[in-house]
Structure 1
Amino acid sequence: MKRKTLALVHTSATLVPVFAQLCKTKLPNVDTFNIVDDSLVRAIGAKGALTADIARRVGAYITSAETGGADHILVTCSSIGPAVEASAAFSAVPVLRVDQPMADIAVLTGRRIGVIATLATTLNPTSDLVRRRAAAAGKTIELTSRLCEGAFEALMAGDTAKHDSLVTAALRELVSQVDVIVLAQASMARVVDALPEADKRIPILASPPTAIDHLATLL
């Protein structure tokens, strides 16, 4: 039986090893390849939104992944999520935005859902996705959003300690107010691992493992 191939489209090279390890563990019989362009997020930041020209570039990468032999495509950046959904309609192979499985789990887990992001351009797309997935599931939810201002800039400058501190503070504030927390950026996932158990008394969902778990059921 022919092995399946998963293409991963990233907007940060830092996510390549994160997903490589997850795929090695959870998708041992699936071949993978990566497409990386970190200028996409910079362009969104400069323009303040996901513009039509950026969305067309996302579509081109999805087409390239399909042409490269992918049986399934995972786009690992939440900021370009709306462009991923739009482009999926024109792909001959399934395309998944990384935060959709996480949003579905959150909707099933609790009514009060918290969303934490380090980029304003990611906070809105992720919040919108959670609302739409709740509506599709027939669920009524209460959404609380938090932006960790300065965290993304710290991460890009190599100051991981400052990034982690800001995200941790937001998590500790929100954990007593909601039933489940959604991390809008895949880069925030490792912060949860370092949290003491007292700060993890509710589910805190990260998109990388939930997305790969979802793909494991398909591939």
Structure 2
Amino acid sequence: MRQRRKPKRRLARALATACLLLVAAGSFDAASMPTAVREGYLQSAIGKDTSGSVAMAAGQFRSVAANLLWMKVVDHYHHQHIADGGDWSKNESLLPMLKTIIALDPHFVEAYYIMGGTILPRTGHINEGVAVLKKGIAQNPKDYELDRQMAMLLAANAHRPADALPYAQKGLENAPDDFSRNIMKKLCRTLAGQIADARQARL
């Protein structure tokens, strides 16, 4: 009797997991609607850390779910926002879905780029952007673009070239080709020059 019940139990678990995934995706989809900003859903979605529960609910479907949400970010919200004349780089309604993508797949570097390197800084949340990029770098230590974006954010937005330079140098080490290495070399030289100018100004 016990052996006959196992397939039913497995099926029940699979169905429960699928339902939880659909509920999680639906909840964040609703939070991403423009009305979420007006009605306060966006703030609660950003402030409340649900990454652990979402990742557990998704289970083995995390990567698939992350890619599906990313397609929605790019194909629907991103393009539609541009079509409506909006500035996508300030489209805060994308933040809940981007946070969900990161929770589902911590190696989905594009979500860190847009969330931490673009939308949060462009909407005045510089420290939050730094925190997102730090998380991305910790999860993806060989991704040079995360290093570059962190260096740019610290230098251009936070005006901290001395803090930015180590990230630029690490990005140079991680750069995969000549083109990206040239970009990082120029960034390192620029930051070193800014640091030298700041020291000279203090004399």
TM over 0.5: no
Between structure 1 and structure 2, the one with the greater Rg is 2
Of Structure 1 and Structure 2, the greater strand share is in: 1
Which structure would you say has the larger RCO, counting Cα contacts within 8 Å and 6 or more residues apart? 1
Give the helix-richer structure, 1 or 2: 2
